[in-house]
Amino acid sequence: MKKGVMRPGHIQIRVLDIEEALKHYRDLLGLIEVERDSQGRAYLKGWTEVDKFSVVLREADEPGMDFVGYKVLDNQTLEKLQGELIEYGCNVEEIPVGELNGCGRRVRFDSPTGHMFEIYAEKEQTGKWGVSNVNPEAWPRGLKGMKATRFDHCLLYGPNIAGTLDLFQKVLGFDLAEQVIDPEGNKAAIFLTSSMKAHDVAFIECPEPGKFHHASFYLNTWEDVLRAADLISMEDVSLDIGPTRHGLTHGKTIYFFDPSGNRSEVFCGGDYHYPDHEPVTWKAEDLGKAIFYHDRVLNERFLTVLT
């Protein structure tokens, strides 16, 4: 049941060197650099995103993800969900207005998989970058690199994904769109949505808590994914795998690494989900095909290389 969570709104990623990271996120992915804050964090967004920013880079000694935030309908929804998160038993922390420039009050909470999440209702809306909201042109001139359109979702690894699924379904109103089930009936992977997208967040079971697998950015076409692959070769960027197609969600994809070893994905296409849809199931025995639909074999790196 929908509880008023609209969409993934921001992700804060830790990087070893902020200038090197900007070459990746701004110049290669083609995100728009919005601003820097007094802590030295860099704010970026995809050009189609209406809110002020969606990606925050923080320089640190250890790469990985600090938190991912979801935007909810309004302050009343935020208030209500805050109460339900506390009642559910999460450790809940309130982050004051303006801790991220242009963002309203955030409610931060933990999860069984050891990740930090946030919900918030307000963020400065600066509109799509380079196009008007009245008689908009098809796309803006001057985009860089892969011309990523938006921050789409992230994939996180940790223990007890069944627990995180319960939290996201019961309190936040996400639906289970797709899953991987092992022969004993345990969930090995879950793809959750708060919208019509096949995933707004995904989890894979892993003994180590709080691990970050990738942040994903949306492209419009398969041709754009191939062009992204060309840029990865031209710039000698660390490639993980692709271009290929996933069985899960059927998205067309390529994976590569930022200069601190955090994985990025750009993808296009993919299935859709309505609240009355049964979850799509892949069997763990067919995990190779579920993850890489063409090769039908897993590369070990996809399961073990995490930040």
Partner 1 sequence: MSDQATHVIKVVNRDQSFQCAEDQVLLIAMERLSADAINVGCRGGGCGICKIRILNGDYECKKMSKAHISKAEQQQGFVLACRVFPRTDLEIESDHHQAVESSYQKTGARMAAS
Residues identified as active-site: 153, 199, 214, 246, 255, 265
Q: CA 95, 126, 81 angle in degrees (round to 5)?
A: 35
The answer to whether 178 contacts partner 1 (rule: CB under 8 A) is: no
Question: Footprint of partner 1 on residues 139-158 (CB under 8 A)?
Answer: 157
Q: Which of 35, 87, 285, 295 binds partner 1 (CB under 8 A)?
A: 285
Q: Which of 156, 206, 219, 232 binds partner 1 (CB under 8 A)?
A: 206
CA 268/CA 250 separation, integer angstroms = 9
The answer to whether 137 contacts partner 1 (rule: CB under 8 A) is: no
The answer to whether 61 contacts partner 1 (rule: CB under 8 A) is: yes
CA 58/CA 130 separation, integer angstroms = 26
Total interface residues for partner 1 by CB under 8 A: 33
Q: Which of 108, 262, 265, 270 binds partner 1 (CB under 8 A)?
A: 262
Strand, helix or coil at 79?
Answer: helix
Tokens of 125: 């809306």
Considering only the stretches 28-36, 56-64, 103-111, 142-150, report the one whose residues sit in contact with partner 1 under the rule CB under 8 A: 56-64
The answer to whether 17 contacts partner 1 (rule: CB under 8 A) is: yes
The answer to whether 114 contacts partner 1 (rule: CB under 8 A) is: no
Question: Footprint of partner 1 on residues 222-261 (CB under 8 A)?
Answer: 238, 257-261
Residue 99 buriedness (CB in 10 A; 0-12 / 13-18 / 19+): middle
Considering only the stretches 73-81, 89-97, 146-154, 284-292, report the one whose residues sit in contact with partner 1 under the rule CB under 8 A: 284-292
Tokens of 150: 């938006």
The answer to whether 306 contacts partner 1 (rule: CB under 8 A) is: yes
CA 267/CA 243 separation, integer angstroms = 9
Least distance (Å) from partner 1 to the CB of residue 167? 19
Cis peptide before 243 (omega within 30 of 0): yes
228 contacts 268 by C-beta, under 8 angstroms: no
The answer to whether 210 contacts partner 1 (rule: CB under 8 A) is: no
Instruction: Between 9 and 210, name the residue whose CB sits nearer to partner 1.
Output: 210
The answer to whether 284 contacts partner 1 (rule: CB under 8 A) is: yes
For the chain, the 3-state helix, strand and coil shares in percent, each to the nearest 5, are: 20, 35, 45
Strand, helix or coil at 82?
Answer: helix
Taking alpha carbons only, the member of 66, 92, 67, 68 closest to residue 78 is 92
Q: Can you give the binding site for partner 1, defined by CB under 8 A? A: 16-17, 61-64, 157, 182-183, 188, 204-208, 238, 257-263, 284-285, 287, 298, 301, 303-307
